[in-house]
Structures are given as C-alpha cells and as structure tokens.
Amino acid sequence: MRKRMGIHRAIGFALAAIATSLSMAQPESTPVGVDVVRKEPMSQTVPVLGRLVATQSGVVAARTAGPVAELRVRVGDNVESGDVLAVLDQSRLKTVRNQRQREIEEQQALKATAEARERLARQELRRLEQLRGSAAFAESLYDTRVQELAVARSSLLEADARIASGQERLELAQIELRDSVVKAPFPGVVTLRQTSAGAWLRIGDPVVTLVNDRSLEIEADIPATLVESLNPGVSVGLRVEGLADHQASVRAVVPDENPASRTRPVRFTSDLTTTELRLASNQSVTLDIPAGSESDVVSVHKDAVLRKAAGAIVYVVEDGVANPRPVTLGRAVGQRFQVMDGLKPGEKVVIRGNERLRPGQAVAPFADPPSESAGQG
C-alpha cells in the first residue's frame, strides 16, 4: 500500500513539473500600441516656399523737434505698446507751456475787468431809465450810457475769445510736451536704433525701427495655375523649421501677377503665437498648396514605419502575432504616409513598441490615441 502511494506521489510531482515547464515554454505576449490602416480622401499638393511677414513694422519717428535727452532701448529689446523708447529735452517745451498758462491767467483777469465795466454800465443805464420823464433825465447822457454798455459787452466777448485762443495755444504746448516722450505704437522688437542721446531731431526724423513679431502673416508667390483653388478661408498645410504639420488659412489673394514668374502674392494667416518657436520676419516657411482633385488613398501612421536597409517595413498584427511586411510609401500626409503597395485598409499595424519586435512574436495590443486623418498632403 505504501509503495502504491509513493508511486502516485511521484507521478503527481512529475505532472506538476511538466505543467510548469510547459507554462514556461509558452512565450509571454508583448504589449504594443496599434493603429488601423485607413482609406480616406486626400488631395495632391505642391510645396511652395513662403515667408513670414509682420503685419506691423516700421520706423517710429519724432513728433516734435528737439535734442534727445534719453534713448531707453537697444536693438533686440522687447517692448509693449506705450513703452517709452526715447525722451527729448523738455526744458524749452515746459517753459512754453508755462508761458501759455500765464497768458490765460492774464486774459481771465482782463475778462474780470470787462465784466465789472459791463455791470457798472448796466447799472448806470438802469438808473437813467428810472429818471425818464423827469427833469433830471438827459437824452444825450442816456445815449452815452447805452453806448458804454455796448462797448463793455463787446470787451467781454473779446476777453472770452482771447481766453479760448489761449487755451488752444496751451493745449498745443501740452501736446508738444507729450510728444517729446516717444512711445511704442505697438508691441514688438527694436531692430534698429536710428539716433542717439544728444542728437537733434526734427519732426519726422527716425528714432527706432520696430517690428511686431507677435502678429505675423505668411506671404507666398503662388503660381497662377494654382490660385483658382485658393479662396479666402481655404486651409493648407504649413511647415516651419522646428514645427511640422501646422495649418494656415488663405486671407487674401493679391490681384497683382508677376509677368516674369506668372505668380501672384497670397496672404495666409496661422496661429503661430501659441508655439514656443522664436519666429522672425522674413523667415522661410513651406506651404502645401492643393494641386489636384481629391481622391481616396490608403494611409498608415508614420510611427508604424521602420526604415531598413532593404526598404520600409511595418509589423502587421494577425491572430495575436506580429509579422514584418515590406511596404511602398508615397507622400507624407500629416502624421501618416500614403501607402502605394503592401497594406490593405482595416489591417492593424504596430506603432508603439515595434522597434524591439521579432518576426512571429506574440503581442497584446493596447489602446493608443487615434492618429490624425490624412487630409491634405
């Protein structure tokens, strides 16, 4: 009996060992991210070189004459709208302003005198009118008082006119004083200093050149054969060094064709201020201009493509196993490549973890963020 129990125990240990070895022999599935091969519409495009242009740029000029007392900015400084760029000497302008203020005070004093004369003339005339019909009334004296009242009222009106004229001269003096402080009319970067402290400036003389690098448009000379499809609001692909797969919208097509190159300037807008790139006026960009009608193409995510010596391959997942497959690729389409041969719509390809896969390796796909659609390319 004991012998039989020992045999059963030995058989149990053997079966357990076999099961353990079998479980160890089965390969573990590698977690990978996958994406689906798609068939979607795409329009053919032609790359056209464009450039960034500032919507606000130019020379900030002096608005009054005088010597420069301070120049507060240097080339490369960032300024906000209203920041002080330069200050002209204000001693003469302050003296003129004070003089205009005193002139007004003098005219106000003269007006007070004219008002007093007008009141006195009116009282004298009223007194004579009360004597009308009596022996003390003199017609000639009454006429004289009427004339004196008219002169007093005229002097009062003249005083008012002189005060108004003096206030206008004072306002002009204050404007001259304010204009002696040269301020930035818009935010931007100082690209050139065109004067220095101590220099005499006339009205209109340049102080600095300012470029608004926060408000940029794109200008490109588009072949006339491609302009017809570029209506305002049409979206095109935009590529800037350091920033790929961006979009720009047509703002305006300038009706001025270059007879030599047969191109027309087109202005595009794009929200580039949200990027961390240090963009500059006249920086080159590439625009993908539509060049044909829209057609359906097969596309695969860029991250699925592995470059090998023999060509491009992707790992296709079938029945839980990933196998490499050579593919022929076309144009880049946003975050995807156009597939000319090797894949069919609906097939699943590995886009995360494919660098370490081996042919025939078991995989466990996990959810991956959806890739961008083809759109234009």
Q: Which 3 state secondary structure label does DSSP give 265? A: strand
Question: DSSP characters for 104-166?
Answer: HHHHHHHHHHHHHHHHHHHHHHHHHHHTTTSTT--HHHHHHHHHHHHHHHHHHHHHHHHHHHH
Q: What is the pLDDT of residue 280?
A: 86
Residues 175 and 171: their CA atoms lie apart, in Å, by 6
Q: Return the number of other C-beta atoms located less than 10 Å from residue 20's C-beta.
A: 10
Q: What is the pLDDT of residue 7?
A: 47
Q: How confident is the model at residue 363 (pLDDT cuts 50, 70, 90)?
A: very high
pLDDT digits (tens, 9 = 90+) for 162-192: 999 999 999 999 999 999 999 999 999 999 9
Measured CA distances, 301 to 26, 207, 259, 261, 339 (Å): 31, 53, 42, 37, 10
| Helix H or strand E segment including 308 | strand 306-308
If you average pLDDT over each of 41-45, 278-282, 360-364, which comes out highest? 360-364
Q: CB of 52 within 8 A of CB of 286? A: no
Question: DSSP characters for 224-235?
Answer: HHHHTT--TT-E
Give the residue-averaged pLDDT of 225-243.
Answer: 86
| pTM score of the predicted model | 0.59
Q: Percent of the chain, pLDDT > 70?
A: 86
Lowest-confidence segment of 59-63, 133-137, 354-358, 359-363 by average pLDDT: 133-137
> What phi and psi, each to the nearest 5 degrees, are found at residue 195?
-155, 180
Q: Which residue reads 């995989």 in tokens?
A: 363
pLDDT digits (tens, 9 = 90+) for 282-318: 999 999 888 766 677 899 999 999 998 889 999 999 9
Q: Which residue reads 């304010």 in tokens?
A: 178
Average predicted confidence (pLDDT) for the chain: 85
pLDDT digits (tens, 9 = 90+) for 60-108: 999 999 999 999 999 999 999 999 999 999 999 999 999 999 999 999 9
Q: At what angle do helices 139-179 and 91-130 cross, to 10 degrees?
A: 160
pLDDT digits (tens, 9 = 90+) for 197-210: 999 999 999 999 99
Residues 64 and 8: their CA atoms lie apart, in Å, by 112
Lowest-confidence segment of 44-53, 72-81, 120-129 by average pLDDT: 120-129
